[in-house]
Amino acid sequence: MSDAKKVKFSLDGKEAESHQGVNLVQAIEENGTHVPTLCWSPGIEPCLGTCRVCTVKVNGRETAACALKIEEGMKIECDTDDLKDLRKGILELLFVEGNHFCPGCEKSGDCELQGMGYRFGMTHPRFPYRFSHYELDYRGVHLLLERNRCIHCKRCTELFSDDQGRKVFSFVGKGKDTRVEMNLDLEAKMPIHKCREAASLCPTGAIILKGQGFDRPVGTRRFDNPPDKGSKNG
């Protein structure tokens, strides 16, 4: 039980309660409403605010829930048809901007983007696919960069470093030509546990451990089963 001061707020017109300083996503979930998140999840700090799939309305304005802490008197809208459709549209944009061929991806079943597609009941996007060309990068000793699957969430560039605190991933280029790059010298020296950490931090299959092929059978993966109501697992 938190020692922090209790705060009351309104959630979709009902009175709700949490504690001062709690992330808005968690405060909403404590009150029984699921908020989808991609770039952020509990334990992934600081908040990057890159994906916007956690968009809610606070005091009438659309905002990324993960970027805020709950405050006394906030008026939050989350579970409305408009907001659900907006969030689904954002997810669809992420799918059409990349090339996501889920059945052939090692991350299938463990991919947070794919899991969200299931959870949102997304059967097809309302936007045209871009079918952009993205170069794969096989040059790493342990890791493969599959840029077709990169959603530019910045987890790898902002939150990952090697054992000596050095950044291994970065973005180069501008606008639609922005792409993730890997420092090959640092990658070559990384122990395998750090390579695994990088691959698992990536919410999609854009960073993949080489030589690993479906070592966890389909059916046992994170998003292979429907989530419980309110669960983050999907």
- Identify what 206 binds: ligand SF4, ligand FES, none; CB under 5 to 8 Å per kind: ligand SF4
- Identify what 22 binds: ligand SF4, ligand FES, none; CB under 5 to 8 Å per kind: none
Q: Which member of 48, 56, 66, 207 binds ligand SF4 (CB under 6 A)?
A: 207
Q: Which member of 35, 74, 144, 156 binds ligand SF4 (CB under 6 A)?
A: 156
Distance of CA 115 to CAs 16, 37, 137, 148, Å?
28, 11, 25, 17
Query: Per-residue x/- marks for ligand FES, 164-193, CB under 6 A?
Result: ------------------------------
Q: Does 54 interact with ligand FES (rule: CB under 6 A)? A: yes
- Identify what 40 binds: ligand FES, ligand SF4, none; CB under 5 to 8 Å per kind: ligand FES
Distance of CA 53 to the CA centre of its chain: 8
Which of 32, 4, 41, 31 has its CA nearest to residue 222? 41
Give the list of residues 6+ apart from residue 134 with CB closer than 8 angstroms, or none.
98, 99, 147, 148, 150, 179
State the Cα–Cα distance between residues 46 and 104, nearest whole angstrom.
32
> Which H helix or E strand runs over 29?
helix 24-30
State the Cα–Cα distance between residues 233 and 162, nearest whole angstrom.
28
State the Cα–Cα distance between residues 151 and 78, nearest whole angstrom.
24
Footprint of ligand SF4 on 168-187 (CB under 6 A): 180
Residue 54 or residue 76: which is nearer to ligand FES going by CB?
54
Question: Where does this chain touch ligand SF4 (CB under 6 A) — which range of 103-111, 128-136, 147-155, 222-230?
Answer: 147-155
Q: How far is the CB of 191 from ligand FES (least distance, A)?
A: 29
Which of 178, 156, 152 has its CA nearest to residue 169? 156
Q: Which member of 26, 33, 37, 148 binds ligand FES (CB under 6 A)?
A: 37
Omega before residue 46 within 30° of 0, cis: yes
Q: Which member of 27, 28, 39, 144 binds ligand FES (CB under 6 A)?
A: 39
Footprint of ligand FES on 59-118 (CB under 6 A): 64, 66
Distance of CA 59 to the CA centre of its chain: 25
Applying CB under 6 A, the residues found at the interface with ligand SF4 are 150-156, 180, 202-204, 206-207
Applying CB under 6 A, the residues found at the interface with ligand FES are 37-40, 49-54, 64, 66
